[in-house]
Amino acid sequence: MRAWLLVLVGVALISAASTATAAPAGSLTLQQLKITAPASTIVQVGKQTFTLGQLRAAHDAREATFRKAGSFGLATGGLLKRQTPIVVHERTGVVARGGAAALLSPTLVVEPPSQYASTPADMKAFCASAAASACLYLPPQQQVSGWSDGSIVDFDYLVDQGQCGQEGGRWAVRFGGISSCAFYYPSRVVVHFTPASNYKLSRTASCDQSTWTFQVDVHGAVTIQVVPQHAGNGDFTTGASATCVVRVSLG
């Protein structure tokens, strides 16, 4: 959502007819936004409109998944352990599924925590628990904005400044006087590693293909990036599991 386009509109009933009355963007307190203002209050973002009830539902969903991000990452990492690896040997050009080669790949490539240290707290918890070679995360079922600087931004208007900082967001008062917390997620990650001497590796992945694409280079790199249609291309809604986790073992 583009915060600077936000306009809040109250809904009033006049002579049994419903008409919209405009309210200044910054005129509602956080308490009113979260609880006391009618759920039917309309939020207009550009040409799109949402009810305050819809904003509250999106906020509640984000908070619920925020609390479970670590356990979700742990479960995703566990799933990768149970999947049959794809074994790639560049010199022969052979791709084999499973087999003894996959079982003899003891060296796991692990993404350095420094690569996601500045991301929102839910992504940090997810990626740390997933123990992945490369990891990207977006909060599920949220309308986010792909920006040209490579960020994917999720705005939440229903948290205060303290909570925003604790959860790894950036606090700002936007045009119109409305305060918001912006959560900036990366749209691309590259993890470099020293390849095996025989260029043999195995990999498993759990990746939402509607959001992410990934590539493993046997010469020493794992890349995950947002699909082209979402790269700096305005608003889109994330899926139920908008993550991508890739695990690579060498040998």
Between CA 170 and CA 161 the distance in angstroms is 9
Mean predicted lDDT score pLDDT of the chain = 78
Between CA 251 and CA 219 the distance in angstroms is 13
Burial of residue 149 (number of CB atoms within 10 Å: 0-12, 13-18, 19+): exposed
* Contact call for residues 9 and 20 (beta carbons, < 8 A): yes
Tokens of 96: 């084999």
Residues in the chain: 251
Look at residue 33 and give its three-state secondary structure. Answer: helix
Per-residue model confidence as pLDDT tens digits over 104-113? 336 899 999 9
Region 71-99: mean pLDDT is 67
* Contact call for residues 45 and 2 (beta carbons, < 8 A): yes
**224 falls in which pLDDT band (50, 70, 90)?**
very high
Region 98-106: mean pLDDT is 40
Look at residue 138 in the predicted model and tell me its pLDDT. Answer: 96
Look at residue 89 in the predicted model and tell me its pLDDT. Answer: 66
Is the pLDDT confidence value at 12 over 80?
no
Share of residues in the chain with pLDDT > 90 (%): 42
Is the pLDDT confidence value at 153 over 50?
yes
Domain residue ranges of the chain, discontinuous segments joined by +:
55-250
Look at residue 46 in the predicted model and tell me its pLDDT. Answer: 47
Between vectors from CA 191 to CA 144 and to CA 110, what angle results, nearest 5°? Answer: 105
What residues contact 87, with CB distance under 8 A and at least 6 apart?
95, 96, 97, 98, 99, 101, 102, 105, 200, 201, 202
Look at residue 28 in the predicted model and tell me its pLDDT. Answer: 60
Is the pLDDT confidence value at 23 over 70?
no
Per-residue model confidence as pLDDT tens digits over 169-186? 999 876 555 678 899 999
* Contact call for residues 202 and 105 (beta carbons, < 8 A): yes
Amino acid at 102: A
Distance, CA of 68 to chain centre? 14
Nearest C-alpha neighbor of 249 from the set 114, 126, 131: 131
Between CA 82 and CA 247 the distance in angstroms is 12
Amino acid at 45: V
Residue labelled with tokens 């690896």: 85
Nearest C-alpha neighbor of 170 from the set 179, 152, 183: 183
* Contact call for residues 250 and 109 (beta carbons, < 8 A): yes
